[in-house]
Structure formats: structure tokens, C-alpha cells
Chain A
Amino acid sequence: MDSAFFFTYFLQFVISGITIGSIYAMVAVGFNIIYNVTEIINFAQGEFVMLGGLIMVIFYNKLDLPILIAFLMTVIVVAMIGLLIDQIVIKSIKQPTVLTLIIGTIATSILLKGAAMFIWGKNPYDLPAFSGREAINFFGAVIQPQALWVIGILVVVVGLLSFFFEKSIIGKAMRACSDNQDAALLVGISVKRMILLSFALSAAIGAVAGVIVTPIALMEYDRGAMLAVKGFAALILGGLGSFPGAVIGGLLLGLIEALVAGYISSGYKDAFALAVLLILLFVRPHGILGNPTVAKFKKF
């Protein structure tokens, strides 16, 4: 194999790794939003992505709405589903501990999957790519234009969220809720409203992810669980709570998978990804960008 040929292959694997990694990163970002306010991991996060893709199919493919309006309405509908999950599932758990709440989100994800199968059936759906499907040639490798959309939107979303949670007082008030609920109430923060907001926001981010990845990866009713597991791994890799960490974790995970699938065998990609995750947890339990000082004061 001559070296130019080798390089083209390598580049192609890297490009597909970054694309798939961006999707994991979007899921990890959604996890972070709810985690920052409640310290719970919402395992229905992958379901928001699935619902985003499939609801967009209704608005765009079936109802023929203009793409921007269909996109917007999808995000609103999924955000409302996020609100309902908070109101119906999270609020009605009698003794809310981190563990019971997480179990509640797992149950929710199973329910949503069942409902989706009922509505959309088992077939995968496609959406048109935003800027067509004509591949861009990049040093011999090819990039789908939609991949650029995915990466661009990821960068914008992460930038905005990092700013919101690190710099704005509402963002900090949201983080204060996970730290100490009583103290948050006593300074006048409506903890309930902040939790509600976090569910709506992360559902909206999940919907955005679903709409932008469906043209690349298709979407079907049972995709949520796999996305949640991968997004969770990305989150732990990057460091719970950190938005730049979610991106780095997601990209790293995507790259490992793509390179292992390309050079070894796609059968081993999950095993390698998890092995890297384990090794990282041994040497850096708080993740790549997690703050070890802060991690000490968290429940997990």
C-alpha cells in the first residue's frame, strides 16, 4: 500500500470518526444540562434524539412544512415532552434520591421507545440533508456536507451552553440547585422551575441532534438506548458536568470506534471504546476535563 493511499484511508476514518463522535457529543451535552441542575443522569436523553428525528419526519416529510419551521416545531414538541417527563415522572417519585430518579429515567426511556414503535413502526426513516448529499472531496477523502452541519451546530451549541452555565447568573443558579437544594431555595431560587428548565433545554438539544444526524445515520424507534450508552461513555471520558469535556469525550470515542473499525474490525469497536474508557477511569476518574477539586463535592 503506498503512503498516499494509506493517508487517504486514514483521513477517511478520521472524518467518519469525527462525524459520529459529534453525535455522541451532542448526547453527552444533553446529559450535562440535567446533571448540572439535579446530579441525575437522564437515561431518556437518547430518546429525545430519536424523537427529534422521527417527529421531524412527520413535520417535514409528511406535512410538507418548510424545513426551518419543521425544525423549530420539532424542537418545541420534544422540549414539551421533556417538560412532561419532569412533571409526570420526576415530580411524582415519592422519595427522590439520585438513584430512584435515574431508575425513573430508565423506565421513561423504555416507555418512549415503546410509544415510538407504536407510532412509527420498526422501519428506519430518512430526512433530506440540509445542503444536499454531494460529497466534498478533501485530500482524496470524502466529506458529506451534512457532517459539516453536525460539527458546526455542535460547536455553536457547546459554546452557548458553556457560556450560559459558567458565566451567567441563571446558569450558576441552576448549578446551585444540584449543589444544595435548601440553600438554593433560601436565596430565592425556584428549584422546581430550574429543574423544569433543564429538562426542556436538554430535550431541545436532543431534538436538534436528532434532526441533524438523521440525514447521515437514519433514525428508528430503538436507536435511543445505544445513543444514551455512547453519550454516557463520552460524558465520563470528558468529565461529568463539563461541556468542552463532552465534546472531547465524544470525538475521542468516535475516533477510536472509526479507527478500530477501519483497521481491525468493526466487531471490536465497542470493546476498544470501553477499554479506553476503563483505562481512563483508572488514571483520571474525573475525566479529561473534569475538575478534581469540584468532583470531591459531588454526590457522583
Chain B
Amino acid sequence: MLSIEGLCAYYGDLEVLNNVSLTLKQGQIVSIIGANGAGKSSFLKCISGLISKKTGRVIFEGNSITNFSANSIVKKGISHVLEGRQLFNHLDVIDNLNLGAYLFFKRGNSGLISQRRDEVFDLFPILKERSRQIAGTLSGGEQQMLAIGRAIMSTPKLLLLDEPSLGLAPLIVSNIFSIIENLNQKGTTILLVEQNANLALGISDFSYVFESGRIKLQGTGQELLGNEDVKKAYLGH
């Protein structure tokens, strides 16, 4: 479904990704782990179009989207949940969700929006209770749910998730991870960046370890969970 070939990316002259290649099949959960600053978030931004200074190829469903702008890549069915939630903080929960489905509105399909919102409310009932609250005042867990909810409003085929567990209590984290698996079972392909290596490798079909802008290791979740280097560096034992 998605294949990345020889991707290099830059912030000004600084190279953050060096010759990264990776593939993702329809229906998979693929995860990326790695130290702080390894380039994981930058990698997701290259796919969703937020980083334009790059070489190599990004191919989605057979077509190159390498040089597409971010607001046109989402139309292809790729939705990106940024690290640190990045909500529309001064709008309320419902407005954030509605804007997640901005594409439906642009296509003249506004009728779908409220139906889609109800589906998101089924997944995250707390958002329904808080529907008129200003997004910036939600708790961290609620904000993460809203960020995911907003991203799936447009019914993406591929969901890019950047550290959904960031700063959340263990109970909320496992709640969010079960929702991610649930979304995947319903057919959404998922590319997950995570610091919580145990959890991420546990639910993934395939995983990559990033180090200084390169892929250092790759394998199935089980393989990496058993790998000595991974154990030492990311699993803390």
C-alpha cells in the first residue's frame, strides 16, 4: 500500500533522514521505535507532506505522492496524528471533529459529517460528554483521543500515529492501544511511532528501529522483542 524508497530529508542543510526504505501492506500495523531525535517524527512528516525538502520516493497505492502538498495528500486517504496532539486549541471538541472531515465538506458531502462524528463518539464516549468544551482545556488523555478522533473523521486508509502514549497514564495508554487495534481490525492500515517499545512491538506485524536518521534494525514484532540490542536499548532489560 505504501512504499518508501531511498528517502533523505533535510531541515535547511541538516540531514535528518538518510536513505530510508520501508514498505507497508494493506491491513498491517507497522511500528517505528528509536531514540529521541532519531528522525521518527520527521519520517512521518515526509509521508504526510509537512516536510517538502526531501529526495527519494513516497509511493502510495501505486502513485508517487513525493512532492504533493500536505493538504492534498490527506485527500489520497492518509491521515497524520502529530506528536503532542496539535489540536485546534481555541475551538471546541465538535468543531475539531468537524474540521477533521473538512474534505467531505469540500466534496459537497456535509451530510456524512455528523454520521461520522457519531461513530467517533462511539469509539471515544468521553468526547461526546465534552463536546462543547474548548479543546485546549481538555486533559492530556482526552486531547489524545480527540487528536485521533479528528484524524479518523475523514475515514483514512492509512493512519500515521506519532507517539499516542506520550505523557499518558498506563490505563489510558492501554485504552488507546486497544482502540488502535480496533481501528486496524476494521480495516485501517497503521504506521505507529512509539517510545513505548514493549506495547508497540506487541501489536505490530512488522517493526523498524531508527537510529540517527537510518534504519538500524527491522523485523516482526516478536523478532525484535527477542533481539538483545533492542532489549538493552529500548526495553530496559
Number of A positions contacting B (CB below 8 A): 22
Minimum C-beta distance from B194 to chain A (A): 19
Interface residues in B81-113 by Cβ distance below 8 A to A read 82, 86-91, 95, 98-103, 105-106, 110
Q: How far is the CA of A183 from the CA of B50 in the complex (A)?
A: 10
Q: Kindly list chain B residues whose C-beta atoms are within 8 Å of the C-beta of A208.
A: none
Q: How far is the CA of A188 from the CA of B49 in the complex (A)?
A: 11
A182-B82 contact in complex given A175-B91, A297-B89, C-beta closer than 8 Å: yes
Please tell me if the beta carbons of A188 and B103 are within 8 angstroms of each other in the complex. Answer: yes
Please tell me if the beta carbons of A179 and B50 are within 8 angstroms of each other in the complex. Answer: no
Q: Kindly list chain B residues whose C-beta atoms are within 8 Å of the C-beta of A179.
A: 88-91
Name which residue of chain B comes closest to A293, CB basis: B134
Q: Which of B50, B71, B80, B99 is within 8 Å of A169, CB to CB?
A: B99
Q: Kindly list chain B residues whose C-beta atoms are within 8 Å of the C-beta of A296.
A: 136
Q: How far is the CA of A294 from the CA of B95 in the complex (A)?
A: 14
- Interface size classification for chain B: 35 or more
Please tell me if the beta carbons of A180 and B154 are within 8 angstroms of each other in the complex. Answer: no
Please tell me if the beta carbons of A186 and B105 are within 8 angstroms of each other in the complex. Answer: no
Q: How far is the CA of A117 from the CA of B9 in the complex (A)?
A: 49
Q: Which of B74, B89, B90, B91 is within 8 Å of A186, CB to CB?
A: B74
Interface residues in A172-210 by Cβ distance below 8 A to B read 172-173, 175-176, 179-180, 182-191
Q: Which residues of B contact A (CB under 8 A)?
A: 48-50, 69-72, 74-75, 79-80, 82, 86-91, 95, 98-103, 105-106, 110, 134, 136-137, 150-151, 153-154
24 contacts between A and B (CB under 8 A): A169-B110, A172-B98, A173-B99, A176-B88, A179-B90, A180-B87, A180-B88, A182-B82, A183-B88, A185-B49, A185-B70, A185-B71, A186-B48, A186-B70, A186-B71, A187-B100, A187-B101, A187-B154, A188-B74, A188-B106, A190-B71, A294-B90, A294-B134, A297-B136
